Every structure is written in structure tokens, then in C-alpha cells.
A and B are shown apart, each in its own frame.
Chain A
């Protein structure tokens, strides 16, 4: 089983590399650092790389306190009979297709962002980040809750037996023990957020540009998947544009992998 999944990943990776070769040959480093993307002329992916990192990072910053707080509350404080209700609800939300969130984002969230912040257009990086946050919240929360709930009772008992108060037990015994599982939940949420296409595509604005200043999240932008979603159909059959999109896919793939490895590395060091 492990071999099959590893082989699949390796083959996928090789295919992406092979398909990307011609645009890499044509653009060299300009592919990664170029600011302009004009189909048929030049392919600079930096605005999309920026868009993906910005939207995902912002989504996680907004949602992690809520997701992890909710997980701790559900696992440690909520009576057992309510816990399963919450879990069921979260798993239900986690399974809702991205397009549904996308439609809700267009119908409600875009307008809300526009009105709240007094913008001309509600399709912004912030809107995409909020929507992504809402989308990955149930996944992160339910998986983090699983990790907390799986901490053996003996760790709690031991901590209690040393005279600790409930919150001290949770902070000093339960959470550290569950940390690898919680981190796994966050990485899975991160991967899902980075790869989400349709919902982001509908609310991000579709502008291949890094806003000025760069942290202006009220501007429209573009993430890698939304770019791929928009252009893949029209690029089939063209050589360089198709290759550029494949290279974009490869970039996304590497970004998720690098972030996951980095996360694991820091986690190991923290322990």
C-alpha cells in the first residue's frame, strides 16, 4: 500500500516536471520571480505564488484560534453527550463541496466584505481568506479534537493527582501530548486551503497582480489553483502556456510539500 501511494506521488511529480520543462527553458528564473503573466508572451508566476501564500496564511491566522479553541473546548470541557453532536456537525460541514462554499461566498461574504470595509469590489484576497478559513475550520477542529480526545486518561489522572487545576492539566499535560496530532490537523487544513480551487476562484477577483502595498488584503488577487482553474481549459493544445500552467501546478505541489516538511521539522525540534 505504502509502495503504491509512493509510486503514484513519484510518477505525478515526474509528469509535472516533464511537462514543465519547456516553460522553464524559456523563462528560467523569471518564471518564479516574474511579475507579469501574459498568455503567449511572458509567464511570471510570482503574483499567484504570493496570492496562494497570502490567502492561505491569512485564512489560518484567522481560523486557528477558533478551530483549536473549539477543539479544546469540545474535547475537554463539553459533556460527552454534546461532543458527538458537535463532531457530527463538523464532519458534515467538512464534507460540503467547495462549490457550495463558493456560491455562499459570492452570495453573502463578498457583499459583506464590500459593505463592511467600504470597498468598490467585494472580490478580494481577504474574502478568499475568510472563505477558506470557514471551509477548513471544521476539518482542523474535528481532527485536532480527535488528537486531544485520544490522549490516554492516565495523563490526565496523573496531572490531576499532582494537584493541578483543570486548565493546568489541559495546558501542561493534554495539549503537549496531543501536539503531533494537532499539527497534523493543521497541515491537512493547510494543504486543503492551498489546493482549494473553485471557491477561491469565485471570490478572489482574478487579478494576476501583487497589490501595492503588498499587505493590502482589500485588493483583488489570484491564487495558483484559481489561475489553473481559469486557464487550463483554454490552454490545452498550446505548448508554452500549457507548460506554464503545469509548472504552476508543480510549484503548488512543492509549496505544500515544503511547508509540511518544515512544519514537521519545527515540531520535532519543539518536542
Chain B
């Protein structure tokens, strides 16, 4: 597949930079956007992203474009920064006291700022599913209705509709429609994780982040979640972090390989798994380390 240059997004003001406050001048950063066909329709644009836990730098100058309505996977060994990168996209890292972020992330072309209201709006647009399935200790119905309800939706009929549609989107509706008022914790592990996905899409996000969503599930449930991820990309942009390279190979359109806080390689999944450009990528996917 030939590479085609796409126009890099225009340089925008550095939204998170603390450097201007401290007065330190940083060396000008090079752009290293990957330029691939299919990226013409960007959903998430990451530019020169650095991330620190205290003094420790966890992400080094990451720039990439995550295309709309595709599944993008981040792979790499433990501690490579793939979850940290994922959590930058909906600013979950803000909850870590010592965390610090520099660089720009645009979602749907919009640059997000630091006020709590903006972060709240961002998180509505960028939903998340966690590694350990974690329904609230509420009924199945209440779990899905939770987000919309707190965001102010009172209309019962509308809520019912959202709950039904969300549960249908995750192929859970037929299994639970007769027991919506049972506890969400009574479901099987795979069902609980699908309930969590339903809860996330009930607030109608544009991007859905999945942080190793299958690592606590059996192979059968894993298969269902993978099927779901592929189906959901019709409506959402999916970004998934996985330990499991086969999983990335099965479901992702694009894959990024990360190592020690660097984005080593990013491109079409099938190409990366058959003809990786970098030695480190090849070593990892052929099982030489990791």
C-alpha cells in the first residue's frame, strides 16, 4: 500500500502546556504524523503529546490521527504507556494528582480546555469501558439510565427508549429484557461487560475507549465483545488497548505499537502484522519479547 501524504492539521495553540507558565522555552518539535490513506477523516488528532507522572515521563512526543468510524488498537508490553495514552483522550489522567500533560488533543476538530465543564463535556463525547467490568450496584435499567438521568433527562419514555436501544446495541436486550429491574451484578462476566458498554453508549458519545475490555473474560465472552466492537464502529470511533495481539489483528483497522512511552509504529493492522517497518515491532509481534 502506497503512502499518501495527508495535510497535517494546522498548528494550534498548546492547550495544556505548562511551559508557557513556567517561562521555559521548549525546543521546536518536529511533526511526525503518520500519513496513511483512510486517515482523511480524522476523529482524534494528537499532536506532540508529552505526559508525566510527577518527574517520570510516560509518553514521549506522541503525534497521531485516529480515524473516524474505525477500530484503532494500541498494543505493546506492560508499562509502554498504551493505557496512559488512552486515558489522555478523555482526560481520565486528570484524576491522578501528579499527572501533567503537554500537547494538543483535538476531538472532532475541537480543542479541549481545562475547565471542569469542558472536561465534563469532553467525557460525554468520549466514553470509556474499563478493564474490570464494573456495573454499579443498581438494577440493569438503572445502570444504563444512570448517565442520561444525571445529565438531566427526566422523561421516562425517552429513558426507556435509550435503555432499550443501548442494550440492543450491545446485543444484551434479548437476554435481559424480562429482568431489567434485577441487579446488574447478577449477570455473567461477559454480560456485565456488555452492560458497561451499554452504560457508556447511553450518553451518546462519539468515541468509545476500551481499556483491555476482555482481559477478565473467557474466550466466548471475549468473542462477543470483539464482534460488538466491530459492529459498533458503524456509529462510534473505537479505540482499544489490548495485551492480546491476536485481538488487535482480529478487530482493529489500525494498530499502534508502543514501547517505553514512544509510539514506535502506527498503521494498517494487516500491514503491521505482516510487514512491520520497525525492528522493535517485528520483535514484539513475533513474540521475541513482551
Among A30-38, A172-180, A247-255, the stretch that binds chain B is A172-180
Residues of B within 8 A of A155 (CB): 134, 136
Residues of A within 8 A of B200 (CB): 161-162
Docked complex: A33-71 residues within 8 A CB-CB of B: none
Asked if B56 is an interface residue, CB under 8 A from chain A, the answer is no
Chain A binding surface, main DSSP class: helix
B98 to chain A, nearest CB (A): 11
A163 and B137 within 8 A (CB): no
Partner of B150, one of A79, A154, A161, A168: A168
- Tell me whether A154 and B130 are in contact in the complex, defined as CB-CB below 8 angstroms, given that A160-B95, A163-B203 are known contacts: yes
Could you mark each residue 78-116 of chain B with 1 if its beta carbon is under 8 Å from any beta carbon of chain A, else 0? 000000000000101001010000000000000000001
Docked complex: A60-100 residues within 8 A CB-CB of B: 79-80
A161 and B134 within 8 A (CB): no
Could you mark each residue 180-200 of chain B with 1 if its beta carbon is under 8 Å from any beta carbon of chain A, else 0? 000000000000000010011
Residues of A within 8 A of B67 (CB): none
A77 to chain B, nearest CB (A): 13
Chain B binding surface, main DSSP class: helix
Asked if B121 is an interface residue, CB under 8 A from chain A, the answer is yes
A83 to chain B, nearest CB (A): 12
Could you mark each residue 198-228 of chain B with 1 if its beta carbon is under 8 Å from any beta carbon of chain A, else 0? 0110010000000000000000000000000
Asked if B12 is an interface residue, CB under 8 A from chain A, the answer is no
Asked if B59 is an interface residue, CB under 8 A from chain A, the answer is no
Measured in the bound complex, the distance between the Cα atoms of B123 and A165 in whole Å is 10
A150 to chain B, nearest CB (A): 14
Measured in the bound complex, the distance between the Cα atoms of B137 and A177 in whole Å is 7
A161 and B116 within 8 A (CB): no
Asked if A157 is an interface residue, CB under 8 A from chain B, the answer is yes
B124 and A162 within 8 A (CB): yes
A162 and B203 within 8 A (CB): yes
Asked if A28 is an interface residue, CB under 8 A from chain B, the answer is no
Measured in the bound complex, the distance between the Cα atoms of B116 and A172 in whole Å is 18
B123 and A158 within 8 A (CB): no
- Tell me whether A161 and B120 are in contact in the complex, defined as CB-CB below 8 angstroms, given that A154-B132, A172-B146, A176-B137 are known contacts: no
- A161 nearest in chain B by CB position: B128
A156 to chain B, nearest CB (A): 7
Which of B127, B136, B203 has the largest count of A CB atoms less than 10 A from its CB? B136
- B124 nearest in chain A by CB position: A163
Measured in the bound complex, the distance between the Cα atoms of B98 and A79 in whole Å is 12
B44 to chain A, nearest CB (A): 16
Asked if A230 is an interface residue, CB under 8 A from chain B, the answer is no
Measured in the bound complex, the distance between the Cα atoms of B146 and A176 in whole Å is 13
- B134 nearest in chain A by CB position: A154
Nearest first, the 7 closest Cβ-Cβ pairs linking A and B are: A163-B124, A161-B128, A163-B123, A162-B147, A154-B134, A163-B120, A162-B203
Residues of B bordering A, CB below 8 Å: 90, 92, 95, 97, 116-117, 120-125, 127-128, 130, 132, 134, 136-138, 146-147, 150-151, 196, 199-200, 203
